[in-house]
Amino acid sequence: MIRPEKLRRDFPILSTKVNGRRLVYLDNAATTQKPRQVLDAIRDYYSRDNANAHRSAHFLAGRATAALEASREKMASFIGASSPRETIFVRNATEALNLVAGSWGASNLRRGDEVLLSVMEHHSNLVPWQAFQKRGVRLVFSPALSDGSFDYEAFEANLSKKTKLVAITQKSNVLGTTLDARRICNAAHDNGSTVLLDGAQSVPSMKVDVRRFGCDFLAFSGHKMFGPMATGVLFGREELLSSMPPFLLGGDMVRSVSAYSAVWNDLPHKFEAGTSDVAGAVGLAAAIDYLDKIGMDNLHAHLVLLTRYALSRLSEYSFVKTFGPSSAAKRPGVVSFKVEGVHPHDVSEILDSQGVAVRAGYHCAQPLVESLAGGPLARASFYAYNTTADIDALCDGLEKVASTFRVGD
Amino acid sequence: MAESDIYRQYIIDLYKNPVNYGKLARCNRRAEASNPLCGDEITVYVREADGKIAGISFEGQGCAISRAASCVATELVKGKTVKEALAISDEQVISALGVAVSAARLKCALLGISTIRAALSKVGAGRVKKTGRKKQPA
């Protein structure tokens, strides 16, 4: 069991006042707030250990290198990777997905191949694959059922001999719909396809085990799970990463360089050109410690509980329409909704005046939101420190929206 | 409170019952614009006669601020010469709207006037021959 009231004390920013009211932060699918343990770890790193990792041989460089690699080992074990060599530090999930597209995709996808995605992709796992259409690669979209849950049968029917890659979100950032990763990976591998999971929303909200899932790649961000901004990870199976060309070229990703050629460094450094954000990695390690203390299963259960409460409270209002599966367990932590006759930006502005932070718009998933709602949506998303009182504040805010706009008049 | 500043009664009224709203018969200038981030879409129709704006209307999807500001902007340019209309500044529109628009919502508030300017500035592409009953994208 999570005690969010107790956790909240670790988050200095949550005591912010907005228009004289308590901040109710419900935009966690965009980014989460950071506990003081993460903030302290970053400050301590810069106060005691800072130097350029993997370069110089002096005292501080040794400490910085050790800190970076300790973080990598922690991350590898957090996601169940076989080795830290399978854990590449990047800036965010978008960069991780671009790495797979730019390196694995560029050397493996050929004319006539298909990439199987879902209709729920975030733009970051859609736009990089659209670029391959120029070279004759076809994009195939696996549908969702009308209630917003994933259609596994249609997915399996969409797998064909041409499906070279399944690039699919494990959890929709709009609907919260969470896919059974193991089922997806098994079906794809039986078909001989490589699997890339977009874990930007799933990794922060549930126990993830890449070996149990059987995925080939997993991309996610650190900043959506208590970690610092501009931290992210690409997990890749070592065998695949070893065979792939580097993505960015430059310092540290090479072992030796002559004027006209270079020999690539070993994993994971082959994919980490340029100076690493060691402080970011250190902060991310502190975030993992914090998550481990909470327990991912407890966190998941808490998100299910909050989502169930939110869906039930929102159903009291005839002027509010929610989207996605009715079962909270199938979509923990995310509730997208519309207020009848009111544009989501007006909804979010009035909620903001009440201290309630939600997101409004297309949520970087325009094709899905267009087909689902015919226009933009508001979204409330929860994390460990949210309480049912936060959801009550959201509902009070929605009553304010309704009265301001004389909804139902 | 901030919301009572911006969501005044007349803003909500304009949102629910916009003026100069809908397609305009016999228009000879038209422009479309959208703000994909928030999903706002607007089409402005202008009937220009003897260098003056004899008729103007708009339609589309938008938030309360965007729609109310488009109402205000169309009212401001109505009857003016094209030159006078093009001289109307962003500040004039905001001041006519009469509420404090935050930086984040400025784009919403100015979508109407900027599309009006586009319709008035485009000589070739913006003109619609004859009736203006050109088919709209769905």
pLDDT tens digits, A59-75 = 999 999 999 999 999 99
Residue-level pLDDT, tens digit, chain B, 138 residues: 444 578 999 999 999 999 999 999 899 999 999 887 777 899 999 999 999 999 999 999 999 999 999 999 999 999 999 999 999 999 999 999 999 998 888 999 999 999 999 999 975 444 444 443 334 443
Mutate to test the interface with B, among A21, A174, A343 (most CBs of B within 10 A): A343
Q: Give yes or no for B137 touching A (CB within 8 A).
A: no
**Token pair in block for residue A180:** 């059974």
Q: Which helix (H) or strand (E) holds A192?
A: none
Is the Cα dihedral A154, A160, A162, A165 positive or negative? positive
Q: What number is the ipTM of this complex?
A: 0.82
A143: distance to nearest CA of chain B, Å?
A: 23
Is A114 in a helix, a strand, or coil?
A: strand
A17, A340, A346, best to mutate vs chain B, most B CBs in 10 Å: A346
Q: How confident is the model at residue A347 (pLDDT cuts 50, 70, 90)?
A: very high
Nearest to B39 among A352, A375, A409 (CB): A375
Distance from CA of B64 to the nearest CA of A (A): 7
Q: Are A144 and A150 in contact (CB under 8 A)?
A: yes
Q: Which residue of chain A has the CA closest to B38?
A: A361
* pLDDT class of A409 with cuts at 50, 70, 90: low
Is residue A215 annotated as part of the catalytic site, yes or no?
no
* Span of A247-256, A400-409, B13-22, B116-125 with lowest mean pLDDT: B116-125
Instruction: Please tell me the predicted confidence (pLDDT) of residue A105.
Output: 98
Count of other CB atoms within 10 angstroms of residue A112 = 10
Which parts of A303-364 are beta strand (E)? 320-323, 334-339, 356-357, 359-361
- Cβ-defined contact of B38 to A404 (cutoff 8 Å): no
Distances (CA, A) of B4 to A23, A72, B17, B105: 19, 50, 19, 15
| pLDDT(A43) > 70 | yes
Give dist(CA A342, CA A402) in Å, integer: 8
Question: By CA distance, what is B37's nearest residue in A?
Answer: A361
DSSP tag of A45: I
Range A27-44 average pLDDT: 98
Specify the 3-state DSSP secondary structure of A162.
coil
Q: How many of the other CB atoms lie within 10 Å of CB of B39?
A: 24
Among A185, A215, A364, A395, the active-site one is A364
Give residue A241's identity as a one-letter amino acid code: L
Which residues does A55 contact at the CB level (< 8 Å), separation at least 6? A61, A252
The pLDDT value recorded for residue A202 is 98
Question: Which helix (H) or strand (E) element contains residue A12?
Answer: none
CA distance A332 to B2: 32
Q: Is B13 on the interface with A (CB under 8 A)?
A: no
Instruction: Provide the CA A74 distance to its chain's centre, in angstroms.
Output: 18
Which tokens is A145 given?
């059922």
Residues A359 and A378 sit within 8 Å (Cβ to Cβ): yes
pLDDT tens per residue, range A324-345:
999 999 999 999 999 999 999 9
* Alpha carbon of B84: minimum distance to chain A alpha carbons (Å): 32
Whether the pLDDT of residue A90 is over 60: the answer is yes
